[in-house]
Structure 1
Amino acid sequence: MRQTAKHYASPAPLAPDLRSADERDKPSRNDSLVAQLATMTGGPVGDHALIGRVRFWTPMRVMFALAVVILALSWGGKAPCIQQTAPDADGVVGLDWNNGRQYIALCYSDTVPLYGAEYLNEGAFPYKKQWTEFGADGKPQVRYMEYPVLSGLYQYGAMQIAKSYDAVSEKWDLPGALEVVLYFNVVALGLAMAWLVTLWATALLAGRRVWDAALVACSPLVLVHAFTNFDALATAFAAGGLLAWARRNPVLAGVLLGLGGAAKLYPLLLLGPILILCLRAERLGEDEDYGFGSTWNRLGPLRTGLAAVAAAAVTWVLVNLPIAALYPRGWWEFFRLNTERHADPDSLYNVATSFTGWPGFDGPLKAGETPSILNLVSLLLFLGACAAIAWIALTAARRPRVAQLAFLVVAAFLLTNKVWSPQYSLWLVPLAVLALPHRRILLAWMTIDALVWVPRMYYYLGEDRKGLPEQWFTGTVVLRDIAVVALCVLVIRQIYRPAEDLVRREGVDDPVGGVLDGAPDPERPWLPTQLRPRTSKALVPV
């Protein structure tokens, strides 16, 4: 008999689909920090709530809304640096960077001075335009655009848009501004969209722990550094590459990581963890179906990883080749500058110099002299760290997750490198969220890292203008590095104690693993004993 409305016990007909995503992580119930924050929005989710049935305010849309707010606040933090002066006697206005305003207001962004320093204001094409600078020794040096190809072309495209709008606004009497201000806003809009892509990909990679990605949306590092430089472009490609790998499309993953490497080199570092984990999963000499799907099931994990590496290499070459062929000196400028530059103020090498007076590995250097020993030491330290991470990956009783190794490799690169520009910390944000989803720990590190910006700016201001001594800045750098090392220790601990890994609960293996997710973990008798798991039988996913 057909029921009518009066036969229902509930005020309205029951929903036709009563499924609930109960396996989804519920931070308002299992995380004390989130539980306290949830009191502002009605309290923790109920015991009998239907999870995943909300039509509009899905987790992704909530995090997008939060990210837009944080990005807007980040733009507001840089806004004092795009304010203009009053007209002078000739009616000319310019940016108000008088009396160190960019440091006092904590609003400095590389994008603003680079507009003139790299002659984008003249419409110059990157890598073609050259200019002469004079070093501290008074010797001239020919300079070019100092960024990788995609970052340089992004700046060129933003410049063209800014100039086009400036021309249109003048012709049609539309709201206008200084050309450099228009340029900054165009750059910021593109970087904001890139960070939203980073958030989107990270949320999908988080799987049942989708709310972990809220830290990508609300990170203090995003608040401070989203528009400090162009690094959000690389994080978007890196996160997209990992998502493609997780969805078992190694060629697309390689293409995206190759594009990321053409914007900033760090996305290429992610290929190392993928390849070493594929090596661990390989069963040489065994003719078995790995169960990876129709396309890759006959190749095996190692050749699948090599396909991603090959795709990344081809993509990087194809992007770089036209510029390298047409403007070889301009294309090489990025590599030349990184070879010749000395230890940056926020590197561990400069920290040692700051507190001890140590002259560095190369001793006092003149302008233009290459710190050859420092370059070699930095490279050897990084390679040694990579070797240690590879040993951990091969000898752990259970195969580590891709995100865990990716975080360790990028963190090792930053800690051992002679340059750690403040915005580089954005590289770690999505990787840390996926590798170690302990919200309070991550929030503490992000806050420490973001606050380094304050003494940095007042150190650059100079003591003669009531700035801070160098040691105030380098001291906070030490705190940041200790925090990052502590995160690495926790990640390694969970690699060796997978039962403590929050991601691997509820029968999950590796959401970012792609062909490695849920795959068997063989003993690999073809490897030396020192490179095999420490147990006689490799663990299988629980």
Structure 2
Amino acid sequence: MPSAETTPVRVAEPETVRPTREDEIAAAGSELIGGPVGRRALLGTSWWTPVRVIALVAIGMFALGLVQKAPCYNGAWFFGASSQYTHACYSDIPHLYQGRGFADGLVPYFDKLPGDMDYLEYPVLTGVFMEVAAWLTPGSGGIQQQEQWYWFVNAAMLMICAAVIAVCVARTHRRRPWDGLLVALAPAFALTATINWDLLAVALTAAAMLMWSRSRPVAFGVLLGLATAAKLYPVFLLGPLLVLCWRAGKWRAFFQATGGAVAAWLVVNLPVMLFAFPGWSKFYTFSHDRSVDFGSFWLIWAQNSSNPPSIDFVNTTASALVVLSFVGIAALAFFAPRRPRFAQLAFLMVAAFILTNKVYSPQYVLWLVPLAVLARPKWRDFLVWQACEVAYFLGIWMYLAYTTSGDAHKGLPTNGYHWAIALHLLGTLYLCAVVVRDILMPERDVVRRAGDDDPSGGVLDGAPDVFVLGGAAQDRRAAEPAEALRLEWGVQGEPTP
């Protein structure tokens, strides 16, 4: 019989966190399906696993979003500019089928377009996505029928992206799969999913976050590089990762991730850069030259000033604000009493870019939804933010109905639209403030309160600090013995502040 000294200690499998037990809003909402999970419930014995349920809910909500677009599909996209706004069902997809040469078989980036927009103004991987959808679109019938089919084909492809996002979020935090239900049920997600092609980049970013949580930095980097080849914002995740790996001394993982991202981005972009540079660069020149546009505080300033800011001033100031935001987030990461979770800093960085950018299209909320769920999986705060985003979604379409109808009594006037912008900004700032509070007061973080350190952190999860600043160094020395004991024995409870 082995002695007590040689018998291995078996650490209990961590229990899955049940939202109906820890979140009052989730518990109240569960009354619609029978109430919170009971103590004697047989969990894990059914085909209906959390990930499968969440994937089906995400597809169902996406389908409801398609139904919401039905008035436009049946005619509002084609007859009368204002009706697609009054029904809040506008989408770029059918309009750009002909407007960007897909109906005529033009090759993106290589063939010049007629009119003012001489080349496709989207990153390369998004252009590939658009072109594949054009190949799958039946060429028979009139142009209106082709545009309808083009939207439908894109919608089917984007639905796959939506399911991928929900599944990846559900699997990123191993003990918290039900947090993915926040993504699946997000109303702004369903309403904006088919306005543009942003879901492609969001899906790749969510998959990258999943790979990082599994300690696979190269796969994370490759997926993040592909996401950046579809949309610019994913590259901002490397900034938070830099400071977190610096604090934890995980330089090898960081350089593997960065190398994978650069390599994947180059594989997609380099052929077009070499053989069609004017078309490839159109996205960057268009983004630089674009004037102040919808949804930003810059628009409020420009429309309420007799001397609106110049585009050069806006570009310089917005870039400076993003840099300052990164410096502030880096300081927060180094001075925090406990190393922030990766998802928290990723959310703050992307939110800072959105808040300071010169344009906020309504579908940009998709960028934040998965990061918000991983950073602050609290139903109350998430729904407060979503309510603000839905209000903005309705506000921008009512404003466009007002400006295109020529009827002063139809739609939302300029001042009302400014209030909708302010509501969107305040909702996002509120969520940022809650996440910052969680970083400074880890005992308020619902993820850490359940006994985890950084479940989306991969190699960072449970790693000791090697570089901190200010009072965080003393806090770290005091916390390390208790924290090490908690991680070794699998004890779940209040995290060490």
TM-score by length of 2: 0.90
- State the one-letter code of the partner of 1:40: L
- State the one-letter code of the partner of 1:119: G
Show structure 1 runs of 5+ residues with no match: 1-19, 86-94, 134-140, 171-175, 283-300, 363-370
Which of residues 312, 336, 339 is equivalent to 2:285?
Answer: 336
Identity score, percent? 38
Alignment of 1:119-518 (within 5 A): 119-133=101-115, 141=116, 143-163=118-138, 166=139, 178-282=145-249, 301-354=250-303, 356-362=304-310, 371-463=311-403, 464-465=406-407, 466-518=410-462
Q: Once the 2 structures are TM-superposed, how far is the Cα of residue 128 of structure 1 from its aligned partner?
A: 1.7
Q: Once the 2 structures are TM-superposed, how far is the Cα of residue 534 of structure 1 from its aligned partner?
A: 6.2
Alignment of 1:62-77 (within 5 A): 62-77=53-68
Q: Once the 2 structures are TM-superposed, how far is the Cα of residue 523 of structure 1 from its aligned partner?
A: 4.5
Is the deviation greater in 335-344 or in 464-473?
A: 464-473
Which of residues 86, 95, 120 is equivalent to 1:104?
Answer: 86
3-state DSSP of counterpart to 1:178: helix
- Whether contact under 8 Å (1:398, 1:533) holds in the other structure is no
1:26 aligns with 2:18: yes
Q: Once the 2 structures are TM-superposed, how far is the Cα of residue 186 of structure 1 from its aligned partner?
A: 0.8
Q: In 2, Cα distance between the equivalents of 1:25 and 1:424?
A: 30
Q: Deviations over 1:398-426 (max 9, x none)?
A: 11000000000000000111121110111
Higher relative contact order (CA 8 A, sep 6+): 2
Q: Deviations over 1:430-453 (max 9, x none)?
A: 101110111011012112102212
Is the deviation greater in 318-327 or in 35-44?
A: 35-44
Q: Deviations over 1:254-279 (max 9, x none)?
A: 00000000000111111111111000
1:61 aligns with 2:28: no
- Whether contact under 8 Å (2:170, 2:179) holds in the other structure is yes
Q: In 1, Cα distance between the equivalents of 2:327 and 2:52?
A: 40
The structure-2 alpha-carbon separation of the partners of 1:439 and 1:118, relative to structure 1 and needing over 3 Å to count, comes to: same
Larger proportion of helix: 2
1:80 aligns with 2:20: no
Q: Once the 2 structures are TM-superposed, how far is the Cα of residue 84 of structure 1 from its aligned partner?
A: 4.4
Q: In 1, Cα distance between the equivalents of 2:473 and 2:295?
A: 38
The structure-2 alpha-carbon separation of the partners of 1:536 and 1:439, relative to structure 1 and needing over 3 Å to count, comes to: closer
Q: Once the 2 structures are TM-superposed, how far is the Cα of residue 132 of structure 1 from its aligned partner?
A: 4.1
Is the deviation greater in 498-507 or in 509-518?
A: 498-507
Q: In 2, Cα distance between the equivalents of 1:316 and 1:149?
A: 10
Q: In 2, Cα distance between the equivalents of 1:35 and 1:501?
A: 19
TM-score by length of 1: 0.82
3-state DSSP of counterpart to 2:334: helix
Q: In 1, Cα distance between the equivalents of 2:263 and 2:479?
A: 36
Q: Once the 2 structures are TM-superposed, how far is the Cα of residue 334 of structure 1 from its aligned partner?
A: 0.4
- Whether contact under 8 Å (1:275, 1:306) holds in the other structure is no
Q: Once the 2 structures are TM-superposed, how far is the Cα of residue 303 of structure 1 from its aligned partner?
A: 2.1
Show structure 2 runs of 5+ residues with no match: 1-11, 484-494
Q: In 1, Cα distance between the equivalents of 2:144 and 2:46?
A: 41
Q: Once the 2 structures are TM-superposed, how far is the Cα of residue 50 of structure 1 from its aligned partner?
A: 3.2
- State the one-letter code of the partner of 1:376: T
- State the one-letter code of the partner of 1:467: G
- Whether contact under 8 Å (1:397, 1:539) holds in the other structure is no
- Whether contact under 8 Å (1:394, 1:531) holds in the other structure is no
3-state DSSP of counterpart to 2:475: coil
- State the one-letter code of the partner of 1:498: P
Q: Once the 2 structures are TM-superposed, how far is the Cα of residue 358 of structure 1 from its aligned partner?
A: 4.9
Is the deviation greater in 412-421 or in 27-36?
A: 27-36
Aligned length: 467
Q: In 1, Cα distance between the equivalents of 2:346 and 2:429?
A: 14
1:47 aligns with 2:39: yes
- Whether contact under 8 Å (2:201, 2:227) holds in the other structure is yes
Q: In 2, Cα distance between the equivalents of 1:531 and 1:418?
A: 37
The structure-2 alpha-carbon separation of the partners of 1:538 and 1:259, relative to structure 1 and needing over 3 Å to count, comes to: farther
- Whether contact under 8 Å (1:346, 1:477) holds in the other structure is yes
- State the one-letter code of the partner of 2:27: A
Partner residue, 2:9: none
- Whether contact under 8 Å (1:522, 1:538) holds in the other structure is no
Q: In 2, Cα distance between the equivalents of 1:325 and 1:66?
A: 43
The structure-2 alpha-carbon separation of the partners of 1:414 and 1:99, relative to structure 1 and needing over 3 Å to count, comes to: closer
Q: Once the 2 structures are TM-superposed, how far is the Cα of residue 319 of structure 1 from its aligned partner?
A: 0.6
- Whether contact under 8 Å (2:59, 2:162) holds in the other structure is no
3-state DSSP of counterpart to 1:418: coil
- Whether contact under 8 Å (2:17, 2:450) holds in the other structure is no
Q: Once the 2 structures are TM-superposed, how far is the Cα of residue 33 of structure 1 from its aligned partner?
A: 2.1
- State the one-letter code of the partner of 1:83: N
Q: Deviations over 1:16-39 (max 9, x none)?
A: xxxx97722222233222222222
Q: Once the 2 structures are TM-superposed, how far is the Cα of residue 218 of structure 1 from its aligned partner?
A: 0.7
- State the one-letter code of the partner of 1:80: P
3-state DSSP of counterpart to 1:437: coil
Q: In 1, Cα distance between the equivalents of 2:448 and 2:27?
A: 22
Q: Once the 2 structures are TM-superposed, how far is the Cα of residue 42 of structure 1 from its aligned partner?
A: 2.0
Q: In 1, Cα distance between the equivalents of 2:52 and 2:356?
A: 38
